[in-house]
Amino acid sequence: MQVLLGRTIDALKQLYKDQPQLFIGKKGGTDFEKIVYDTLKAQAMGTEFDGTIELIGGQKFPDIVVDKKYGIEVKSSKGAGWRTTGSSIAEGTRVEGVDEIYLLFVKLSKPVDFRYRLYQDCLSEAVVTHSPRYQVDMELKEGETLFDKIGIQYNELRQRDNPIQTVLNYYRQNMRPGESTWWISEEQDKASNFVLRTWDTLDKPEQHTLHLKAFCLFPEIFGQEKTKYNRFTLWLVSHNSVVNPHARDVFSAGGTQEVEYLGKVYSLPRICYQVYTMVAEIQETLKTMELEELAEFDCPYKGEADRWERWVEAVCSHAKKPGGFPLKNFLLNA
């Protein structure tokens, strides 16, 4: 098969020299499928693959099938490098019976060139368009594929019931502070709006619901770190399709507020005053949140029995008794 592909690459290079108009101005991989198909058929004449080459096309993966078991996926790029977005990680449209797939890459920037490579050997990362897809890098070094990073063979991953979840787990385990995955697990019963919205366009009830959930998911917002709103901001976008360039104002706008507790008056930062007035709602929200959602954000209070107590501990580890107010005592006795 690799001999046939090598001959096909040489033939494509010669075809470009003879008829460059066939390649210049083409829009993408689908434009080249027929060219590659015709070239493959010509190079297969007189070989064991003669008469076995099928152009699949459409939404199926891969684009071309040889001898019912080999596949060729055609990709192209007008950029200077050898990178592009590959096919879906889930491979739900994979042609049945195809065991070995090669990627044939057409680089349209000067100098125009052609390469082929075993599919799994050039998949460097996972990226998200409308669903998680592979990132193709035809210059990827041996041992640097996504599968090397995860520690799993390509064929093992693709045959799993939910390969996307395996990839998500890898990225979540290797996230740095302040990072979040864009894609939500398909196993979770969640949906995000197709259209991005800004915070100030939301109605008050939706703002309030997100406000409550933020308290539950991100106890670091009570701290002093400059990055304390990063995860909240990322969550708004990735899970709720909401953009808020002024995330801190949700919790800090309005300055301090005086409250009376156990016969003493305290001047509370706005965020602690919000908790003071919303504590019952926060309790109820935390109580009803799914374990999967809490686990996704690495909350140390996933258990149901002592969830509130553990949340209080997390909050107070960041808040450090604001303004002398006995926050922990207040929350535990709420």
Sequence ranges of the domains in the chain: 2-173, 197-332
Supply the pLDDT for residue 151.
Answer: 98
Alpha-carbon gap, residue 45 to 216, rounded angstroms = 66
Chain-wide mean pLDDT for the chain?
90
Question: What is 113-169 written as a DSSP string?
Answer: EEEEEEGGGGEEEEEESSSEEEEEETTPPTT-SHHHHHT--HHHHHTSS-HHHHHHH
Average pLDDT over residues 268-278: 95
7 pLDDT band, cuts 50/70/90, is: very high
Supply the pLDDT for residue 189.
Answer: 44
Higher-confidence position of 281 and 109: 281
188 has pLDDT over 70: no
pLDDT per residue as tens digits for the range 227-245: 999 999 999 998 888 999 9
Supply the pLDDT for residue 77.
Answer: 86
Tell me which residue of 309, 251, 294 sits closest to 275, measured CA to CA. Answer: 251
280 has pLDDT over 80: yes
pLDDT per residue as tens digits for the range 62-97: 999 999 999 999 998 887 789 988 999 999 999 999
Higher-confidence position of 334 and 157: 157
Which phi and psi angles does 247 have, rounded to 5°? -60, -35
Q: Report the largest interatomic distance among the alpha carbons of the chain, rounded to a whole angstrom.
A: 96
Average pLDDT over residues 114-139: 91
20 has pLDDT over 50: yes
8 pLDDT band, cuts 50/70/90, is: very high
Higher-confidence position of 153 and 132: 153
254 has pLDDT over 90: no
302 has pLDDT over 90: no
How far is residue 174 CA from its own chain's centroid? 13
31 pLDDT band, cuts 50/70/90, is: confident
Here the tokens at position 213 are: 């959930």
Supply the pLDDT for residue 290.
Answer: 81
Indicate the pTM of the whole model: 0.67
Supply the pLDDT for residue 192.
Answer: 54
In the 8-state DSSP scheme, what is residue 94?
B
Element housing 72 (H / E):
strand 70-77
Question: What is 234-258 written as a DSSP string?
Answer: HHHHHHH-EE-TTHHHHHHTT--EE
Sheet holding 100-107, edge to edge: 53-55, 64-66, 70-77, 100-107, 113-118
Give bridge partners of residue 113 from the DSSP assignment: 107
Grouping H, G, I as helix, E, B as strand and the rest as coil, residue 232 is helix
Which phi and psi angles does 134 have, rounded to 5°? -80, 150
- Range name among 18-27, 183-192, 259-268 with the lowest pLDDT average: 183-192
Average pLDDT over residues 35-58: 96
Alpha-carbon gap, residue 250 to 228, rounded angstroms = 13
193 has pLDDT over 90: no
